[in-house]
Amino acid sequence: MYSLQSRLGLWLGLMLVLIFGLHMLLMSNFPRYLAEEHILTRLQHDGESLYARLIIESGKAPRLSKGPLSPIYKTPLSGHYFFVQAGEHTLRSPSLEGETLDMPEVHPGGSTVLRLDGPLQKKLLMWVSETRKNGQAFTLAVAEDIEDIDEDISELRKAYFIGTSVTVLLLIFLQRFVIRRTLKPIEKTRKELLAIEAGEASKINQEVPSEIQPLVSQINRLLEVMHKRIERSRNASGNLAHALKTPLSILNQVAETPEILAHPELSKEISQISATIKTAIDRELKRARLVGGALPGQCFYADRELPELVDVMQKIFAEKSLHFDVSIPAGKKYSADREDMLELFGNLLDNACKWAKQHVKLIIMDEPGLYFVVEDDGEGVEKEALKSLTQRGNRLDEKIPGHGLGLSIVQEIVEQYGGQIEFGISEKLGGFSVRISLPETL
Amino acid sequence: MRLLLVEDDAQLSKRLKASLKQAGFAVDVAENGLDAEHAGMEIDYDIVVLDLGLPQKSGIEVLQQWRNKNRKMPVIILTARDAWYERVDGFKAGADDYLGKPFHVEELLARIRALIRRQHEDAPNKFHLRGYVLDEEKQQLLNDETVIELTGIEFRLLRYFLLHPGKILSKTRLTEHVYENDADKDSNVIEVYVNHLRKKIGKDIIETRRGQGYIFRSDD
């Protein structure tokens, strides 16, 4: 699984860094190139005017014709130098103060540009020309200190780097903002889906971007279809139960009419058949009614529903005047079908009430999912029986009708919700104890 | 004891009515929700047996209407819809007990009797009267030696007196709680039955208050 938001952010960010990196690489040498071109042109000009003034005579040191010399070549170590080498004779600008500049090899008639360390170990840009005048070959070099310009350029590059980095970061930040804003409807839909899973909503808002609109309407449609189907099958099983049980009630009454009671065998047989049919109806139809954890959009408010169920138990078992010890964390709810949960707790409490002498205990732990214990102070169950209890429909006590069936439905519900069930003997009350844990989500 | 039986299945209600009458109840039958609601509003029933799946108006709605209008008679729901959530909803609507179909008449009668007894909290487990015990199933008064047989109406009348000792009970009220709707009612007939009871148990057991009615003197 991946997140659209982080994936978009990552790719767009990478592209920004790449583009700006390339740009920086291309642009960083540009100022140096410009500056050097500019200096070089000047050096060439200076070289040309020097050439014009140079007097070269065979066997004599080269000299300049009379006339003023630019002050920059006079000032000692001004950073502007020239140097003429004709055979063993040389002519240097006064600014050189007698220092020599290393001359490279230049083929006759050619010229070259190079960098070198000049006086005071400062960087120089030098233009060197191998030329002739009056039949004499000589080398003319003009150089300029570029240390300061180099420094300026580095400063510029640093500033440019910082500026660009800040821009990129700013753009990435803006991008994230834009992405988040654009994906906001998806995030909203995601939250609504979670709410549906938790049973706090029953459908998703349809006002979404056109890209996910079909998805949302499909989900809504499916939810509606599922709810309707479950409602229909529940109604059908309820109607079937109703349709079968009323005639069974009549059958029971018929079995008790004086005419039939005159033949006790016959009456007993009718009653037995009726009881068998009733058990089958209860077993199968109650099972068919279960929804299980498959349907989203369900919520069971334990702290509201269970006290009501306990009230019901108190009324049903009014003759026993039982004492209930109930503990439910405030606001406790669980994503499950209300009818399933009431069937689960109803059967467990009903069993407990039937067995109990005085006390029934229902404790819901304050833990994720649904984790609870139902205990009574009745006779409890033999160890052997505890083992066989987990078998489907194993009737614990034939004298208390429906007990085994109740537990098998409890077990069915727990299975459908992917939970665990544990039977035992209550340590405190001494009776039967059922411990059930249902996971948070399937 | 006047009982309203609300059940849409004619076959079942016919048989049930017979059994309930035999057990000493004046039984009215309503076959749909609207009739049931109306009957419950008009007549002070001592108990109602209510089916939930009714035509025209559901049993739950009928019950809610009664409770909203402060009709407090005990109601026992008798239905095939016995899932726990349906029971919870039934009790929330104001039911006092719930019995799933199919059922045995004894089971229903036991629950009706228990409910009536709960309703009259001071009523004892068994009614004792001048050394006799009232057997509600056989509708007899018994002590160690003798058995006093009671007719249906006598039994109904006596049980109503036993549940309301020391109170002035008018002839109309007695008639209402002893006879069903479709019976040929004549409040003067009550006088005849009161005299029968006096003859069987003792003259001073029922005191006549002229123009007001009768007071039952349960001195033990």
Instruction: Outline which parts of chain B fall under CATH 3.40.50.2300.
Output: 2-119
pLDDT digits (tens, 9 = 90+) for A13-66: 899 999 988 988 888 888 888 888 999 999 999 999 999 998 888 778 888 888
| Number of domains, chain A | 3
Same structural domain, A247 and A360: no
For residue B102, cis peptide bond before it (omega within 30 degrees of 0): yes
Whole-number percent of chain A with pLDDT over 70:
94
pLDDT digits (tens, 9 = 90+) for A371-422: 999 999 888 777 666 666 655 445 444 434 445 667 888 888 898 888 888 8
Instruction: Residue A250: list chain B partners with CB under 8 A.
Output: 9, 11-12, 15
Same structural domain, A265 and A364: no
pLDDT digits (tens, 9 = 90+) for B190-217: 888 888 888 888 878 888 888 888 888 8
Nearest to B161 by CA among B177, B142, B172: B177
Same structural domain, A304 and A428: yes
Is residue A179 assigned to a domain?
Answer: no
A286 reaches B (C-beta below 8 A) = yes
Same structural domain, A142 and A92: yes
Q: What are A153-159's contacts with CB under 8 Å, separation 24+?
A: A153/A31, A153/A32, A153/A35, A156/A31, A157/A28, A157/A31
Q: For B128-216, which CATH class?
A: mainly alpha
Q: Which helix (H) or strand (E) holds A235?
A: helix A213-255
Domain boundary among A243, A266, A289: A289
Residue B183: the pLDDT is: 66
CA distance A14 to chain B (A): 58
pLDDT digits (tens, 9 = 90+) for A105-127: 888 888 899 888 888 888 899 99
* ipTM surpassing 0.90: no
Backbone torsion region of residue A107, taken as left when φ is above 0, otherwise alpha when ψ lies between -120 and 50, otherwise beta = beta
Residue B65: the pLDDT is: 92
User: What does the buried/exposed string (b/e) look like for A263-295 if buried means 16 or more CB atoms within 10 Å of the residue's CB?
Assistant: eeeebeebbeebeebbbebbbebbeebbbbbeb
A406 reaches B (C-beta below 8 A) = no
B219 burial (CB, 10 Å; 0-12 / 13-18 / 19+) is exposed
Residue A396: the pLDDT is: 44
Helix residue ranges, H only, A257-360: 258-261, 264-289, 302-316, 338-355
First to last CA, chain B: 23
C-beta atoms surrounding A153 within 10 Å: 20
Is residue A243 assigned to a domain?
Answer: yes
Same structural domain, A305 and A425: yes
Of A241, A251, A316, the CB nearest to B81: A241
Residue A162: the pLDDT is: 92
Angle, to 10 degrees, between the axis of helix B152-163 and the axis of helix B187-201? 80
- Averaged pLDDT, B44-48: 91
Instruction: Residue B12: list chain A partners with CB under 8 A.
Output: 246, 249-250, 253
Same structural domain, A249 and A354: no
Chosen for mutation from A257, A286, A312, A405 (greatest number of chain B CBs closer than 10 Å) is A312
Instruction: Residue A251: list chain B partners with CB under 8 A.
Output: 102
CB contact under 8 A, A319 and B114: yes
Locate A411 and state its tokens.
Answer: 């077990």
Same structural domain, A316 and A261: no
Residue B49: the pLDDT is: 95
Residue A374: the pLDDT is: 94
Backbone torsion region of residue B131, taken as left when φ is above 0, otherwise alpha when ψ lies between -120 and 50, otherwise beta = left
Q: Are the C-beta atoms of B23 and A256 separated by less than 8 Å?
A: no
Helix residue ranges, H only, B120-170: 152-163
Band of pLDDT at residue A348, cut at 50, 70 and 90: very high
Backbone angles phi, psi at A83, to 5 degrees: -155, 125
pLDDT digits (tens, 9 = 90+) for B133-189: 888 877 888 888 888 888 888 888 888 888 888 888 888 888 888 887 766 667 678
Q: For B2-119, which CATH class?
A: alpha beta
Residue showing tokens 């002229």? B210
- Rounded CA Rg of chain B: 18
Whole-number Å distance between alpha carbons of A333 and A349: 19
- Averaged pLDDT, B46-68: 92
Domain boundary among A119, A149, A179: A149
Same structural domain, A92 and A123: yes
CA atoms within 13 A on the CB side of A235: 6
- For residue A150, pLDDT beyond 70: yes
pLDDT digits (tens, 9 = 90+) for A169-222: 999 899 989 988 988 888 888 888 888 877 777 788 888 888 888 988 998 898
CB contact under 8 A, B97 and A316: yes
Same structural domain, A366 and A412: yes
Is residue A39 assigned to a domain?
Answer: no
Whole-number Å distance between alpha carbons of B173 and B164: 12
Q: Name the residue range of residue A260's domain.
A: 224-289
Report chain B's mean pLDDT, rounded to a whole number: 85
Is residue A409 assigned to a domain?
Answer: yes
CB contact under 8 A, A248 and B97: no
Q: Are the C-beta atoms of A245 and B102 separated by less than 8 Å?
A: yes
Q: Residue type for B94, please?
A: G
Whole-number Å distance between alpha carbons of A98 and A96: 5
pLDDT digits (tens, 9 = 90+) for B15-25: 999 989 888 88
Locate A337 and state its tokens.
Answer: 């079908």
Residue A253: the pLDDT is: 87
Of B81, B96, B102, the CB nearest to A249: B102
Domain boundary among A95, A115, A149: A149
CATH of the domain at A394: 3.30.565.10
Nearest to B59 by CA among B5, B115, B2, B114: B5
User: What does the buried/exposed string (b/e) look like for A397-418 if buried means 16 or more CB atoms within 10 Å of the residue's CB?
Assistant: eeeeebbbbbbbbbbbbbebbe
Is residue A5 assigned to a domain?
Answer: no
Residue A401: the pLDDT is: 44
Out of A285-294, A328-337, A343-352, which region has the weakest mean confidence (pLDDT)? A285-294
Instruction: Residue B53: list chain A partners with CB under 8 A.
Output: 242
pLDDT digits (tens, 9 = 90+) for A247-300: 898 998 888 888 888 888 988 898 889 888 888 888 788 888 887 766 777 789
Q: Residue type for A73, please?
A: Y
Of A238, A253, A274, the CB nearest to B16: A253
